[in-house]
Structure formats: C-alpha cells, structure tokens
A = this chain, B = another copy of it.
C-alpha cells in the first residue's frame, strides 16, 4: 500500500514563494462602466477595498455606514485616485427608516444600484455565558436584520423599476459550522446565508442574483481589534492555514468584483469560501497528523502493517 518515497518536508514549513498574493485589479478596465454600486460598511477594511476595485473598474459607488466622516474621507481618497465618483451616505442599517432614507438619497444622487454588497457587520469575541440579550442584539441587529432591511428596501425598489442587480453578502467561514466565542455572529451570518440562498431562488425572476463570500482571516483594524485584540490568535491561525498566510483585502475585492460583474451573470445561490484552506484544515479529523515527521511515518507504517485482524 505504501510507496517508499524520498523523505519529504514535514511540519508546516513551506518553500517560500508559493501562494504570493496578486493585488492588482483582475477584471478588464471598464467592467463596471455605467454601473452604480452600493456598499455597506464601505468606509473601512474589506468594504473599502471592494469599493476601491469597483471604482477602478469604472463604477460609481455609494458607501454607507454610521460614521459619515470616515466614509467621506474614504470616498475622497478613492475617487481622487480612480477619477470616478464615490458618494458617502450616513446609514445605520439596523433602522429600516434610516435605510429607506439612505436609498432615497442614493436614488436622488445617482439612481438605483446595479451592484449591492452587504458588508457591514459587528462582532467581538466573548464566552457566550457572559453575553447579555443586548450583547446578542448588538451583533445580530447589524448583521442579520441590517442585511435584511437593506436587501428588502433595495429589492422592492428594483423590482418596481424592473431593474436587475447583483447582490453579494460577506459572511464568514464559521457561518455553516458555527463557532463558540463569536456566537451571535455565527448565528446572524448563517441567517444571512439562508436569506441570500432563498432570494437567489425567489428573485431570479426579477433579474436579481445573490451570492455569498465566506472570508477567512484578512487583517483589518475592525475585525482584528475585536477578534484578536492581543494578536496571539493570529499565529495559530496562520499555522493551520494551508497557504500559510492571511488573505489580503485586494484579493477578496477581486473575487467580489468578479461575482458582481457580468462575467458571473450565471452565478447565483453560490457560497464561496475564501480562506486559504483554513476551514478544511480545521475540520478534517486527521489533519493534526501534519506534525508527524517522515521518520515517525516509517515507524507508524511498520506498526500498521504488523496489525492482524480487527
């Protein structure tokens, strides 16, 4: 059963140079010309990176979240770099009326969007027995209700206008498996995924596509300050990520741009894990054996071959 192979590297050491990130824009220039993109949480982190790429590719963008000053700064920086308009609108997605007002403003400014990215979220690590009902709501109201309110408001208006659109939600690799210590986030993100898969089926007839990206760890101030405040967790994540590094915002942004573009016009209801392989690496029961050395494998093979019967 075994072929005796020249000793190979064991442990997590990786020849350097594999898996280097490509951070330039991937799609053809102008892929989003005459398109309007609406990105929640577009002022910071991954939302900002997605806005940057869409803007580079020709989209006009509207970014919305609670902190208008942050949004305006980002909008100014991106539009001065790309030459395309970026609008900043204040909006707390937990409040359906604020969402409606925000959409009113967008429509007045630039019409209904072709691309919608639900990226706004809140999260923090906490043992669940220390969580209050308000702590629970502080996350689920943004992530699940916020996404629903934005999606309902825009969906209804787009349907009335008979305009198609691409919807994208940013969730997380633990939406399916669940995870302790980030439980409201796990529940709310799972809810977002079901919402989007449901609407992929239901609203295709109105010209709408719905897809999901589940990112693994990508350093942003927002996520890392609340999920790994001391920085100690990062090392153990990198150790178990088969590609041996965190993701880069620009990599995620290229994937998001693809999914939002006409090149993906047949993609709907998809859930795309983008995590350097972390999830499969954690979930597989015997992956811990990566720590076994070649010499130990020889010994194990001999023991196994020597086993008789069951």
Contact = CB atoms under 8 A, between A and B. Distances in A.
A108 interface: no
Contact of A204 (B128, B220, B277): B277
Contact of A200 (B175, B178, B192, B290): B178
Contacts of A303: 229-230
A268 B277 contact: yes
B1 A135 contact: yes
Nearest to A223: B310
23 contacts: A4-B130, A8-B127, A9-B205, A20-B262, A22-B263, A28-B28, A126-B297, A128-B198, A128-B199, A144-B144, A173-B285, A177-B285, A179-B283, A180-B198, A190-B193, A198-B284, A201-B284, A202-B287, A209-B243, A221-B310, A227-B286, A242-B268, A269-B277
Interface string A194-218: 1111111111111101100000100
A195 B205 contact: no
A80 interface: no
Contacts of A124: 1, 304
B130 A266 contact: no
A193 B280 CA distance: 12
A64 B131 CA distance: 23
A107 interface: no
A206 B10 CA distance: 9
Contact of A178 (B43, B187, B284): B284
A281 B204 contact: yes
B22 A265 contact: yes
A199 B183 contact: yes
A83 interface: no
Contacts of A132: 1-3, 152
A182 B286 contact: yes
Nearest to A280: B269
A197 B280 contact: yes
